Amino acid sequence: MLDHQIELWTRSGFAFRLFLSLGGLIPYSSSVLVLGIESSCDETAAAVVRDGRELISSIISSQIKTHERFGGVVPELASREHLVKIVPVVEEAFARAGVSKNDVDGVAVTSGPGLIGSLLVGLSFAKGMAYALGRPLVGVNHIEGHIYSVVFENPPVQYPALALVVSGGHTNLFLVEEPGVYRTLARTRDDAAGEAFDKVSKMLGLGYPGGPQIERLAADGNERAVHFKIPQMSDRSLDFSFSGLKTAVTKHLRENGLSVFNSDGEPTRAAKDLAASFQSVVVRSLITTTERFAVEHNPRTLIVAGGVACNKSLRQAASEAAMRLGIDVYFPSPHLSTDNAAMIAAAGTAKLKAGAYSALDLNANATLRLSDVDAETVKLRQGKARHRL
Ligand code: KG4
Ligand code: ZN
Q: For the segment 127-186, what is each residue's pLDDT rounded down to a tens digit?
A: 999 999 999 999 999 999 999 999 999 999 999 999 999 999 999 999 999 999 999 999
Specify whether 34 is located in the same domain as 141: yes
Q: Are residues 176 and 317 in the same domain?
A: yes
pLDDT at 127: 98
- Are 275 and 204 in contact by the 8 Å Cβ rule? The answer is yes
Number of domains in the chain: 2
Does residue 71's CB lie within 6 angstroms of at least one atom of ligand 1? no
352-379 residue pLDDT tens: 999 999 999 999 999 999 876 666 655 5
The residue nearest atom 19 of ligand 1, judged by CA position, is 211
* CATH code assigned at 47: 3.30.420.40
* Ligand 1 mean position, distance from CA 307 (Å): 3
Closest CA to 200 of 255, 246, 256: 246
Residue 119: its pLDDT value, please? 98
Q: Cα–Cα distances in Å, from 58 out to 89, 139, 344?
A: 9, 18, 11
Instruction: Tell whether 347 and 315 lie within a shared domain.
Output: no
Ligand 1 contacts CB of residue 212 (under 6 A): yes
Do 93 and 165 sit in the same domain of this protein? no
Q: Tell me, what's the pLDDT at 46? A: 98
**111 lies in the same domain as 143:** yes
Residue 49 lies in a domain: yes
Distance 366 CA to ligand 2 centre (A): 13
224 CB-contact burial (10 Å; exposed 0-12 / middle 13-18 / buried 19+): exposed
Please name the residues in contact with 332: beta carbons below 8 A apart, sequence gap of 6 or more: 149, 150, 152, 153, 305, 309, 343
Does residue 389 lie within any of the structural domains?
A: no
Q: Please tell me the distance from the alpha carbon of residue 135 to that of residue 368, in angstroms, as a whole number.
A: 24
Q: What pLDDT does residue 71 have?
A: 81
215: Cβ below 6 Å to ligand 1?
yes
Residue 386, in any domain of the structure: no
Residues 221, 311: one domain? yes
The per-residue pLDDT for range 182-231, each reduced to its tens digit, is 999 999 999 999 999 999 999 999 988 999 999 999 999 999 999 999 98
Closest residue (by CA) to atom 16 of ligand 1? Answer: 307
Pocket test for ligand 1, best of 39, 310, 340, 344 (most atoms within 8 A of CB): 310
> Does residue 240 sit within a domain?
yes
Residues 166 and 263 in one domain: yes
Same domain, 283 and 298: yes
| Mean confidence (pLDDT) of the chain | 89
pLDDT at residue 342 greater than cutoff 80: yes
Closest atom of ligand 1 to 146 CA is: 1
User: Which domain-ending residue is among 331, 348, 364?
Assistant: 331
Residues 136 and 177 in one domain: no
CA of 146 relative to ligand 2 center, distance in Å: 6
- Residue 42 in contact with ligand 1 by CB distance below 6 A: no
How confident is the model over 252-309, as pLDDT tens digits? 999 998 999 999 989 999 999 999 999 999 999 999 999 999 999 999 999 999 999 9
For residues 318 and 290, what is the distance between their CA atoms, to the nearest angstrom? 9
pLDDT given for residue 235 in this prediction:
83
pLDDT score, position 377: 57
Please answer whether residues 45 and 341 qualify as being in contact, where contact means their C-beta atoms are separated by less than 8 angstroms. yes
- What pLDDT digit, counting tens, does each position of 6-49 carry? 333 222 333 333 333 322 244 445 689 999 999 999 999 999 99
Residue 40 lies in a domain: yes
Q: Give the lowest-confidence range in 54-58, 174-178, 236-240.
A: 236-240
Residue 309 Cα, ligand 1 centroid: separation in angstroms?
A: 8
Q: Which of 315, 338, 340, 367 to mutate to test the pocket of ligand 1 (most atoms within 8 A of CB)?
A: 338
Name the strand (E) or helix (H) holding 119.
helix 116-133
CA distance 214 to 287: 19
Ligand sitting nearest the alpha carbon of 306 = 1
Give the C-alpha separation, 212 to 222, whole Å: 17
pLDDT over threshold 70, residue 381: no
CB 294 within 8 A of CB 302: yes
Examine residue 388 and state whether it is found in any structural domain, yes or no: no
Task: State whether the beta carbon of 167 lies less than 6 angstroms from ligand 1.
Answer: yes
Let me know whether 218 and 270 are in one domain: yes
pLDDT at 255: 93
The Cα 93–Cα 90 span in angstroms is: 5
Q: Domain check: are 133 and 176 in the same one?
A: no
Rounded distance from Cα 93 to ligand 1 centre (Å): 23
| Residue predicted with more confidence, 55 or 68 | 55
pLDDT at 380: 52
Q: Which residue among 150, 167, 280, 314 is best mutated to probe the pocket of ligand 1, counting the most ligand atoms within 8 A of its Cβ? A: 167
The H or E element containing residue 181 is strand 181-187
In a domain, 211, yes or no: yes
147 lines ligand 1 (CB under 6 A): no
- Distance between CA atoms of residues 132 and 155, nearest Å: 36
Domain that holds residue 273: 156-331
* Residue 160 included in any domain: yes
Q: Count CA atoms within 13 Å of residue 321 on its CB side.
A: 30
The more confident residue out of 121 and 20 is 121
Q: What's the distance, CA 190 to chain centroid?
A: 17
- Does one domain contain both 314 and 368? no
CB 216 within 8 A of CB 264: no
- For the stretch 60-115, pLDDT in tens is 999 999 998 888 899 999 999 999 999 999 999 999 999 999 999 999 999 999 99
Please work out whether the CB of residue 338 comes within 6 Å of at least one atom of ligand 1. Answer: yes
Q: Which of 42, 148, 197, 246 to mutate to test the pocket of ligand 1 (most atoms within 8 A of CB)?
A: 197
Alpha-carbon gap, residue 32 to 284, rounded angstroms: 40
